């Protein structure tokens, strides 16, 4: 005989506490967990949200994709996540320890912690397997996106990387956090702290996606890896690394490549930054084991405070990816200089979209001014040389590089406009053009190269940075692929102009089609976007407008100038 409901409630109230807790743990989570996926670690409970066009999607935020790197695990390769029964993934977790010197109100972090190893998975509702328990679905293509931030700050949160645009077009979007700055990229060149920890986190995430893709309706054989700025550098590095082989099929690089000169992969650079950092911490030991012990014992807040001093002294980029020595028990990510790996043909079978904007470094103008960069260059002229070249050039040859940079960009007087131009051309335009040229020479799979020049009067970046300039700057193309919720939700009146909405649809269409067929335009009967032959570029200047150009005289000039600088270094 069935117990009447009122008597059941009374019985529950009379049970010992442990029995009430057991009932709560096994009954109520299932009731609250109506949007769920069954991962290898346990059940995750998300929420239903609305994307563009009121498309419903399942959003799982703050999902641990590995064990949190606490205590002795601080610098080690990530270990598998500990199992759970139910994990409520309704909110993003804290961001990784950092000192933000760029994003400002583009970011709205929910705290900061070493317990930051989380992924955010966004799935069109109809693709979620739990919605169709008796049907085997084919699995949707997956976009895994690596956030930027100079390897030192940023996050995968929806404040800047809102999935609403893309997920409405029937793809799965995954963003995530990885260890940053000293926590993710300190290199002692030892088995305990080998360097490139942040890149290993990214490989761990990609392996996790392979194991769990089916659980949230994805196709593990159809992963596209993308990134912006330092995230694009990381994505390209992973395409050159055996450690990530088979984990993704194609890649999208927005304003960054493995050879971007705004960082140096030289072990000499890694050693210099490490020594500067240890001085800020007051660690004077030269014994690697003793240094590691002290770094493990110090609280994370102390490590972060020391890094804040370091980045305020260096400007934008401190620790970063570095070439590794083979070490026992360590997964090598970068086994040679990225330039050498490209020349060997590494990654040439991975289709690429490579893009940059026409006014990249305007985004950094405020930071450069706050950093008093022009005064620093006046007193230390080698600061005008890109870091990659700076650490690849013998001391006796630096004066020639300095002289040539001054001659091209300053016309006799050091000024901010000249440095912003040198930054845009040297850090972003040249490496994008060079990568496309190199891939054409290697006869690899297609590269699709674009320059984003859309000059929006309602630009998110111009609004946040308080700047006025012509064209599009760093991060600007990203805001038409991901929704900048931190800004758009707070705008009075219309959040976006009609032109912005059209550009958003245009850019996301290119991304989704590339995910579907490894071409930005799948039904390209008229060669609207031909693959690059080393001499072509698509200019995206207005919504729906693609202009196929040969390299312009100014682009050829940029290639010639920086080729000559690099050839002088390589000839030494």
Which pLDDT tens digit goes with each residue over 232-289?
999 999 999 999 999 999 999 999 999 999 999 999 999 999 999 999 999 999 999 9
Average predicted confidence (pLDDT) for the chain: 91
* Residue located via tokens 């935020």: 61
- Over 70: is that where the pLDDT of 116 sits? yes
Name the catalytic one among 41, 168, 229, 241. 229
Query: What does the alpha-carbon distance between residue 159 and residue 92 come to, in Å, rounded to a whole number?
Result: 10
- If pLDDT is split at 50, 70 and 90, which confidence band does 412 have? confident
Phi first, then psi, for residue 172 (nearest 5°) are -90, 135
Query: What does the alpha-carbon distance between residue 63 and residue 119 come to, in Å, rounded to a whole number?
Result: 5
Query: What does the alpha-carbon distance between residue 314 and residue 311 come to, in Å, rounded to a whole number?
Result: 5
Give the pLDDT confidence score for residue 567 in this predicted structure: 79
Query: What does the alpha-carbon distance between residue 74 and residue 505 come to, in Å, rounded to a whole number?
Result: 41
Within 8 A by CB and 6+ apart from 20, the residues are: 12, 13
Cβ proximity of 174 and 122 under 8 Å: yes
* Residue located via tokens 């690059």: 532
Question: What does the block give as tokens for 395?
Answer: 């001391």
User: What is the DSSP-derived secondary structure letter of residue 138?
Assistant: -
Q: Is 397 helix (H, G, I), strand (E, B) or coil?
A: helix
Give the pLDDT confidence score for residue 153 in this predicted structure: 98
Give the pLDDT confidence score for residue 136 in this predicted structure: 74
- Please give the average per-residue pLDDT across 524-543, as a whole number: 84
- Over 70: is that where the pLDDT of 103 sits? yes
All domains of the chain, ordered by start, with CATH? 1-32 (no CATH), 34-340 (3.40.50.1820), 351-358+395-571 (3.40.50.1820)
Query: What does the alpha-carbon distance between residue 531 and residue 446 come to, in Å, rounded to a whole number?
Result: 6
Query: What does the alpha-carbon distance between residue 249 and residue 370 come to, in Å, rounded to a whole number?
Result: 41
- If pLDDT is split at 50, 70 and 90, which confidence band does 18 have? very low
- If pLDDT is split at 50, 70 and 90, which confidence band does 444 have? confident
Q: Is 383 helix (H, G, I), strand (E, B) or coil?
A: helix
- If pLDDT is split at 50, 70 and 90, which confidence band does 505 have? very high
Q: CB-hemisphere CA count at 13 Å for 343? A: 6
The DSSP string of 280-307 is: HHT-----HHHHHHHHHHS-HHHHHHHH
Terminal CA-to-CA distance of the chain, rounded, Å?
91
Give the pLDDT confidence score for residue 28 in this predicted structure: 47
Told to judge if 360 belongs to the known catalytic residues of this protein, a careful annotator would answer: yes
Name the catalytic one among 360, 425, 429, 476. 360
Give the pLDDT confidence score for residue 299 in this predicted structure: 98
Which pLDDT tens digit goes with each residue over 26-81?
444 667 798 999 999 999 999 999 999 999 999 999 999 999 999 999 999 999 99
- Over 60: is that where the pLDDT of 1 sits? no
Give the pLDDT confidence score for residue 491 in this predicted structure: 73
Q: Beginning with the edge strand found earlier in the chain, give each strand of the sheet holding 250-254 in spatial order.
A: 47-50, 56-64, 118-124, 172-176, 140-146, 218-228, 250-254, 352-357, 447-452, 536-542, 545-550
Question: What does the block give as tokens for 254?
Answer: 């927005």
- If pLDDT is split at 50, 70 and 90, which confidence band does 135 have? low
Query: What does the alpha-carbon distance between residue 164 and residue 157 come to, in Å, rounded to a whole number?
Result: 12
Name the catalytic one among 59, 474, 531, 538. 474
Query: What does the alpha-carbon distance between residue 146 and residue 237 come to, in Å, rounded to a whole number?
Result: 12
- Please give the average per-residue pLDDT across 345-368, as a whole number: 97
Cβ proximity of 59 and 171 under 8 Å: no
- Over 70: is that where the pLDDT of 492 sits? no
Query: What does the alpha-carbon distance between residue 387 and residue 68 come to, in Å, rounded to a whole number?
Result: 32
391 or 225: whose pLDDT is higher?
A: 225
Question: What does the block give as tokens for 537?
Answer: 């570029």
Question: What does the block give as tokens for 151?
Answer: 């390897």
Told to judge if 474 belongs to the known catalytic residues of this protein, a careful annotator would answer: yes
Closest CA to 36 of 124, 118, 128: 128
- Over 60: is that where the pLDDT of 501 sits? yes
Q: CB-hemisphere CA count at 13 Å for 526? A: 4
Total residue length of the chain = 572
């Amino acid at each position: 005989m069935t117990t009447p409901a009122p008597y059941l409630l009374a019985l529950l109230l009379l049970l010992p506490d442990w029995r009430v807790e057991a009932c709560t743990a096994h009954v109520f989570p299932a009731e609250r967990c109506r949007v769920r996926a069954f991962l290898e670690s346990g059940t995750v409970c998300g929420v239903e949200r609305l994307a563009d066009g009121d498309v419903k999607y399942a959003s799982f935020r703050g999902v641990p994709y590995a064990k949190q790197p606490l205590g002795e695990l601080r610098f080690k390769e990530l270990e598998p996540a500990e199992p759970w029964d139910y994990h409520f993934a309704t909110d993003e977790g804290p961001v990784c320890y950092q000192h933000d010197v760029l994003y400002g109100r583009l970011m709205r972090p929910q705290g900061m912690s070493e317990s930051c190893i989380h992924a955010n998975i966004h799935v069109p509702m109809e693709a979620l397997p739990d919605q169709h328990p008796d049907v085997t679905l084919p699995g949707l293509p997956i976009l895994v996106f690596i956030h930027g931030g100079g390897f030192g700050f940023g996050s995968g949160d929806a404040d800047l990387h809102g999935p609403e645009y893309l997920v409405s077009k029937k793809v799965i979007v995954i963003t995530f956090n990885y260890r940053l700055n000293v926590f993710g990229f300190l290199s002692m060149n030892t088995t305990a702290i080998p360097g490139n920890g942040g890149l290993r986190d990214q490989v761990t995430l990609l392996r996790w996606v392979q194991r769990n893709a089916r659980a949230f309706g994805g196709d593990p054989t159809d992963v596209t890896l993308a990134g912006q700025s330092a995230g694009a550098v990381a994505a390209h590095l992973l395409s050159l690394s055996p450690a990530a082989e088979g984990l993704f099929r194609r890649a999208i690089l927005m304003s960054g490549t493995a050879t971007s000169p705004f960082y140096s992969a030289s072990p000499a650079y890694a050693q210099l930054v490490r020594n500067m950092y240890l001085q800020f911490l007051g660690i004077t030991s030269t014994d690697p084991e003793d240094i590691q012990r002290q770094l493990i014992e110090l609280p994370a807040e102390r490590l972060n405070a020391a890094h804040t001093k370091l980045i305020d002294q260096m400007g934008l980029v401190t620790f970063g990816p570095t070439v590794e020595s083979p070490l026992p028990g360590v997964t090598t990510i970068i086994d040679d200089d990225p330039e050498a790996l490209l020349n060997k043909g590494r990654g040439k079978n991975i289709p690429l979209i490579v893009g940059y904007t026409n006014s990249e470094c305007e985004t950094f103008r405020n930071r450069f001014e706050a950093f008093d960069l022009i005064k620093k260059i006046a007193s230390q002229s080698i600061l005008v040389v890109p870091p990659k070249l700076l650490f690849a050039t013998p001391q006796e040859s630096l004066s020639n590089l300095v002289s040539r940079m001054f001659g091209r960009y300053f016309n006799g007087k050091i000024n901010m406009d000249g440095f912003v131009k040198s930054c845009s051309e040297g850090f972003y335009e040249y490496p994008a053009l060079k990568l496309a040229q190199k891939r054409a020479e290697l006869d690899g799979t297609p590269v699709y190269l674009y320059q984003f020049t859309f000059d929006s009067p309602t630009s998110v970046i111009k609004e946040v940075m308080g700047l006025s300039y012509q064209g599009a700057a760093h991060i600007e193309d990203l805001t038409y692929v991901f929704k900048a919720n931190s800004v758009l939700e707070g705008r009075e009146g219309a959040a976006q102009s009609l032109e912005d909405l059209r550009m958003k649809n245009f850019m996301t269409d290119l991304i989704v089609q590339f995910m579907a067929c490894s071409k930005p335009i799948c039904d390209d009967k008229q060669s609207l976007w031909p693959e690059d032959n080393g001499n072509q570029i698509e200019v995206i200047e207005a919504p729906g407008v693609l202009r196929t150009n040969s390299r312009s005289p100014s682009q050829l000039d940029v290639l010639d100038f920086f080729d000559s600088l690099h050839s002088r270094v390589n000839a030494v």
